[in-house]
Amino acid sequence: MSDNNNLSFVTGALIGSVVGAALALVFAPKSGREIRSDINVGTRQALDKVDDLRVDVQEKGSVYVDQAKVKGSELKEKGTVLTKQAVDSTTKFTKEMTDKTKDIAEDVSAKSKEIAKDVSDKSKTVAKDVKGKSKAVTEKAKEVAGKAKDLKEDAETELKEVSEDIKEEVKKTTENIKEDIEK
């Protein structure tokens, strides 16, 4: 922006010098020789001023170029530092996330193994209980079957005895009735 201001100033100075010289020619009450001499002097002065301004602009341009190089170098260094920090930060974050992911995976694996072991142990316990109760039920069934067999035999024996008693009673009663009828 400063360069634009300097360039505008130089351009304005040149245009002003030319317009001033032209107006001096038009309105000057001097002779042609004096006017040409004044124009030569004015032109030399304008050229000297332009030359001085050119030197100033070149010096300032050189200073600005140097400042731009320094600033560019500083910005490059800052960019390099920031890039390194970003890479280091990203690397650190990635490592932390990888470690945490591994820890979580190990925890999940350990918990899964514990749950599987608990389920296996409980399944074995339930199987033992079922087997034990199955044996107990089988024993009870055998016991009940034995009692049922005994009851059946007792009932059959009792039935035979009662049957024989009834037969004898019927026989006696039949004989008594026969006797009564015969009498």
The 10s digit of each residue's pLDDT in 139-178 is 888 888 888 888 888 888 888 888 888 888 888 888 888 8
Cβ atoms 68, 28 nearer than 8 A: no
Task: With cut-offs at 50, 70 and 90, classify the pLDDT of residue 35.
Answer: confident
Q: What is the pTM of this model?
A: 0.38
What is the rounded CA–CA span in Å between residue 3 and residue 64? 9
What integer pLDDT is reported at residue 154 of this predicted model? 85
By the 10 Å C-beta count (0-12 exposed, 13-18 middle, 19+ buried), 17 is classed as: middle
- What is the Cα 89 distance to its own chain's centre? 17
* Confidence at residue 85, expressed as pLDDT on a 0 to 100 scale: 94
- What pLDDT was estimated at residue 49? 82
